[in-house]
Amino acid sequence: GIHIAKKIDKLGMRSSDTAQIFFEDVRVPCKNLIGEEGKGFTYQMLQFQEERLWGVASALTPMETIIQETIDYTQQRKVFGQPVLHNQTVHFRLAELATEVELLRSLLHRAVALYVEGNDVTKLASMAKLKAGRLTREVTDSCLQFWGGMGFTSEVLVSRFYRDLRLMSIGGGTDETMLSIICKYMDILPRK
């Protein structure tokens, strides 16, 4: 009763297969049932906070890596007789990006500490995921720009991260979903 219709070709995250799967008259033996029957959606909703916090944590190292690789590249790459990194626009921007990554790390640490203590961190996890999704786009786009034409090739890590980290604003809830959750917890979401 399980039928895989087709593998889906994706923009990024190519190392992870995504496929269209159909379940028709599939029977699951009671011994293989996870949790209570009919509660799958509820279980999925309950795990979202952990998934979102994990997503934020998993984005920090790639962003730091891209910033450092961009620093290394722009120190070596010369334009008009000087390293690209010597341009104030470049080194100031890299400093801003590194600062934003550290701010995100602090938000994540606060949310995880509260979560471990048993608190509801839905609002903070949603804020962190929203910021992570937007920051991964900002870091990869800015850094790719400093690589010039080389950044537009498949030969460098920055182009892969540019492509793959885009999922951060979609998977586990879109930016717009995060904003709705945050607004709900701030009690500013319009009522029907």
Higher pLDDT, residue 140 or 5? 140
Q: What pLDDT, on the 0 to 100 scale, is given for residue 169?
A: 96
In a domain, 190, yes or no: no
Cα dihedral sign, 146-147-152-156? negative
Choose the catalytic residue: 50, 51, 64, 138.
Answer: 51
Beta strands at 82-83 and 19-23: parallel, antiparallel or unpaired? unpaired
| Overall number of domains in the chain | 2
pLDDT band, residue 137 (cuts 50/70/90): very high
Quick one: which of 133, 132, 109 has its CA closest to 121? 109
Q: Is residue 164 part of a domain?
A: yes
Q: pLDDT: is 16 or 130 the higher one?
A: 130
Same domain (yes/no): 83, 131:
yes
Q: What is the pLDDT of residue 157?
A: 95
pLDDT digits (tens, 9 = 90+) for 7-30: 888 777 777 888 899 989 988 888
| 138 among known catalytic residues | no
Look up the domain containing 13 and give its range.
Answer: 2-32
Chain mean position to CA 47:
17
